[in-house]
Amino acid sequence: MTTYSHDPSHGQPVIAIIGGGVSGAAVAFHLLRGQRLRPGQLFIFEPRERLGAGLAYDSQDPAHRINVPAAKMSLLPDDIEHFQRWLKERDALAGDETAVAANGNLFPRRALFGRYINSMLQPYIDDGSVTHVADRATDVRRSGERWVIRGEGGRRVEADLLIIATSHPSPLPPQVLSRALDGHPRFIADPTRPDVLAAIRADDRVLVVGNGLTSADVIASLDLRGHKGPVTAISRHGLRSRGHAAAKQEPFGDFVSRPSRTALELLRRVRATIREAEGQGWSWHAVIDQVRAQGQDLWRAMPLQERRRVVRHLRPFWDVHRFRVAPQVEAVSEGAIRSGRLEVLAASVEAVTTSGGAIDCTLRLGRSAGSVDRQFDAVVVTTGPGHRGILETQGWIGALAEAGYLAIDATRLGLACNTASQALGADGALAPSLFISGPLARGTFGELMGLPEVVEHAVFVAGQVAAALADHEKRRQGRTEIGISAA
Ligand SMILES: Cc1cc2nc3c(=O)[nH]c(=O)nc-3n(C[C@H](O)[C@H](O)[C@H](O)COP(=O)(O)OP(=O)(O)OC[C@H]3O[C@@H](n4cnc5c(N)ncnc54)[C@H](O)[C@@H]3O)c2cc1C
């Protein structure tokens, strides 16, 4: 067993981050940008080979592209075009003829963004400031004033400060599907796992459950693999993730001078602002961009009950307008709809049976339109990460909740935390040395899913950790002085 622990003679506090996707890597990067740490002070548990990629940017599927233009996806919020320059300096888009959209925006393959984040952290890995513990954390406990983290492979780290940056758990497939289809060779419950679509044959009739960005990715990946069979994509409202504006626009409107106090008021204001924008020749994109930019202030101004209403009633509409499909990926779906190969329905799965390899589904159609029976050969679940089940997704997260250190947040979007991003237990008890970074903190911070917000939040968490380190140092010096005077 490898034990990583700080050298007590240095007396330096140890920081552990669980999850080395963009959130974990960005907290480490911004912490180290602000101050020097000794080797052995900062550990990141991440089972993936490279730090910085995470679920989103570890994909090697050439059909998967970033869905926000490269010019807005920077690790440096004060240098927003940094990634775009990084791409150009390396000629990283050579051979990818379709990376440039019609309006000039760059939408490179997602794996490139993972490489970019990794390259930014690499110097700190090389000089020992960051230790990548290439292991999945499976056991986390409080021991005295410290956190003891054990990995699946036997790694053990004792830390004074712990940051949870595990973000996206596996999807939670609807039970009606998993009950009937678990073990079926073409039931793809988690399409983010590498190469799972290889099980689908060229002429298979495919049901895609979910109509967001993952659904668009799956349709583009199937197309690239030469799939020719019919695809039915369903979601409760039949809404599909929308594309980007044809031309670049500045955010439009003001939602914070007099923030909406209710979900309904917010909806009315957004609609009125869209009418106003359209009157001036802009599109809804500019308004939604402004809601997004001001989203965290808006969220904070709303009482809890209204936040819950936003999640329950407005979220499906928000998600399809806010998360936009890359133009290259959108073109595949649009082409498939035009050719009649892709059908998009407002429906949910009511019943499922199998006969031989075939999958018989009863689909309940939306707007009380009754139900239809359809036969498929494959079912792909694209409902996205199962954040609302976060406490059940990993044993150690559940155990920390049981011990009173973690709780699901009141809107069920992730983990409860305060406005300093420190974790809160079910009874509101604060764990000052336990931080949440990334989308799991969005119940408190509001819009915190896309890369720009994730990076800004990581900068904030890095600042909080730096302050906790300074505090630790003050206490240590206090103890040393007492030690000296007592000697
Ligand atoms: C498929 C997908 C595509 C996306 N594309 C875009 C995009 O193009 N543009 C954009 O702006 N936003 C995009 N997003 C939004 C995304 O939330 C952020 O951009 C960002 O990637 C979030 O990174 P993260 O590190 O917080 O989470 P994640 O990427 O989920 O990383 C969490 C990491 O934690 C690790 N982990 C989990 N459990 C453990 C454990 N027990 N021990 C150790 N490690 C653990 C995982 O292996 C993973 O690498 C996308 C999201 C998804 C899901």
Express each pLDDT in 332-357 by its tens digit: 999 999 999 999 999 999 999 999 89
User: 2 and 114 in contact (C-beta within 8 Å)?
Assistant: no
Nearest CA to ligand 1 atom 41: 137
Average the pLDDT over 95-120 and give the result: 95
Confidence band of 138 (pLDDT split at 50, 70, 90): very high
Supply the pLDDT for residue 473. 81
Q: In angstroms, what is the span from residue 19 Cα to ligand 1's centroid?
A: 9
The CA distance from 122 to 51, in Å, is: 9
Supply the pLDDT for residue 11. 73
Confidence band of 146 (pLDDT split at 50, 70, 90): very high
Enter the pTM of the model.
0.93
The set of residues, in sequence order, having a beta carbon less than 8 Å from that of 475 and lying 6+ positions away, is none
Q: In angstroms, what is the span from residue 7 Cα to ligand 1's centroid?
A: 32
Q: In the block, which residue shows the tokens 């007592």?
A: 486
Q: Give the percent of the chain with pLDDT over 70.
A: 96
More confident residue, 158 or 487: 158
Q: In angstroms, what is the span from residue 469 Cα to ligand 1's centroid?
A: 26
Nearest CA to ligand 1 atom 19: 451
Nearest CA to ligand 1 atom 52: 56
The CA distance from 381 to 145, in Å, is: 42
Supply the pLDDT for residue 167. 96
Q: Which residues line ligand 1 (CB under 6 A)?
A: 18-24, 45-48, 54-56, 66-68, 73, 136-137, 165-168, 192, 385, 394, 438-439, 449-451, 454
Nearest CA to ligand 1 atom 2: 56
Are β-strands 430-436 and 422-424 bridged in parallel, bridged antiparallel, or unpaired? antiparallel
Confidence band of 55 (pLDDT split at 50, 70, 90): very high
Confidence band of 33 (pLDDT split at 50, 70, 90): very high
Express each pLDDT in 287-299 by its tens digit: 999 999 999 999 9
Q: In angstroms, what is the span from residue 23 Cα to ligand 1's centroid?
A: 7
Supply the pLDDT for residue 10. 63
Nearest CA to ligand 1 atom 15: 450
Supply the pLDDT for residue 175. 95
Confidence band of 484 (pLDDT split at 50, 70, 90): very low
Q: In angstroms, what is the span from residue 199 Cα to ligand 1's centroid?
A: 25
Nearest-atom number in ligand 1 for the CA of 24 is 25
Nearest-atom number in ligand 1 for the CA of 217 is 1
Q: In angstroms, what is the span from residue 169 Cα to ligand 1's centroid?
A: 9
Q: How many CB atoms lie within 10 A of CB 367?
A: 8
